[in-house]
Amino acid sequence: MGGVKNYFLRCILCGAEYDPAPMYVCDDCGGLLEVVMDLPSSKFFSRIVDRPWYMWRYRELLPLGSGSRIVSLWEGGTRLFNLSVEDGLSLYIKLEGDNPTGSFKDRGMSLGVSKALEYGFSKVACASTGNTSASMAAYAARAGLEALVFLPRGKVARGKLFQAVAHGARIVEVDGSFDDAFKMVRRHVSESSDLYLLNSINPYRLEGQKTIAYEIYEALSNAPDYVIVPVGNAGNIYAIWKGFFELVEMGVIDDVPRMIGVQASGAAPMVHFFRNGTYRPVEAPETLATAIRIGNPVNRDKAMKAVKFSGGWFSSVSDRDILSAQLDIARRYGLLVEPASAAPYAYFRSNIDLFKGSVVLISTGHGLKDPDILKYWSEYGLI
């Protein structure tokens, strides 16, 4: 166990506080837990300018004991591309496909797997629509831990399954959706004291992902006006918002950007929750953007907090719009992103009048992960 702790865990529903521990939900009320950091002053960012451009340049803002081993594959430091500047509107895309296994999950897994070692676990587990399992398998291999992944059978993009197998994960295919696989892994973890759960219900994983916000701030020297994020299990949108919120707390920026969550129309429980105030899971989620084919997002309360607090909103786009946006990004800008990662652009380009100032689209994963999508481009008459 390493060094001085400058953070603790707090329940987002009842406010109960806990010393750092490998826990996932509040013992009192079952609410999600968030990490509360003792933040440095606003001078922090001027002190780190010469550090390497990867996630661990923000070491002091990440909840890992000072003597603990960092499990890194050189994640973070991804490109922020300026796509256009027109009529007072600057459009950027943050390319998380630049990460070692090709998605933003690597940020969370670098910290999450480091925590698994710090806490003395020998095995890590997750349910996944693909990217989480690919990333966890790679980081577990790096750390010398066993990896166990639960995947919805037939619904994981081939590149992602290929990665999990290559890195030596033990794979359990589940007949059902991601939500069924997630239930199964939670049951497994509750029955084993040696298995650390690395889905985004794990509060530490999201701490790794909050570094997306720090990088955007450093690249633009300010917060953008809007950040648009594809939403599945609804952890990443909260993580990015939390990163910006910490920058406000440190006195580095004045306001958080408006956070806009985009779901696929066949898997959009957050849109209904946002518009009607009542939460209803989608029983049989369906979309060709398999990364976000999730009907019962575990981080719904965190995501709602982030979106409402920031003055943002949730919306959805059709599969056709997603695929046509994916091709548009590929052909107009030379950037290949996976289908889920094209959802923010699909939403932006049909609602451009809503935006002014600066907009950052979060492109969550690399296009090469899902080459089978080619047949749907053709079925939809897009090529």
Name residues contacting ligand F0G, limited to 83-112 (CB under 6 A): 103, 105
Q: What is the contact mask toward ligand F0G in residues 66 to 85, using x (rule: CB under 6 A)? A: --------------------
Among 41-49, 55-63, 228-236, 310-318, the segment contacting ligand F0G (CB under 6 A): 228-236
Dihedral pair phi/psi, residue 344, rounded to 5°: -60, -40
Least distance from ligand F0G to the Cβ atom of residue 365, Å? 3
Structure-block tokens of residue 174: 């589940």
125 binding ligand F0G? (CB under 6 A): no
Considering only residues 317 to 376 of the shown chain, the ones binding ligand F0G according to CB under 6 A are 338, 340-341, 364-365
Q: Which of 124, 138, 148, 234 binds ligand F0G (CB under 6 A)?
A: 234
Stretch that binds ligand F0G, among 9-17, 227-235, 280-288, 326-334 (CB under 6 A): 227-235
Minimum Å gap between C-beta 221 and ligand F0G is 27
10 versus 210: smaller Cβ distance to ligand F0G: 210
- Is residue 291 near ligand F0G by the rule CB under 6 A? yes
Task: Candidates 208, 230, 243, 344: give the one binding ligand F0G (CB under 6 A).
Answer: 230
Q: For ligand F0G, give the closer residue by CB, 62 or 198.
A: 198
Cβ atoms < 10 Å from Cβ of 377: 15
* Contacts with ligand F0G, 181-220, as mask; x by CB under 6 A: -------------------x--------------------
Strands 357-363 and 226-230: parallel
The reply on whether position 130 binds ligand F0G by CB under 6 A is yes
- Considering the rule CB under 6 A, would residue 235 count as an interface residue with ligand F0G? yes
Amino acid residing at 279: Y
Binding residues for ligand F0G (CB under 6 A)? 103, 105, 128-132, 200, 230-236, 291-292, 338, 340-341, 364-365
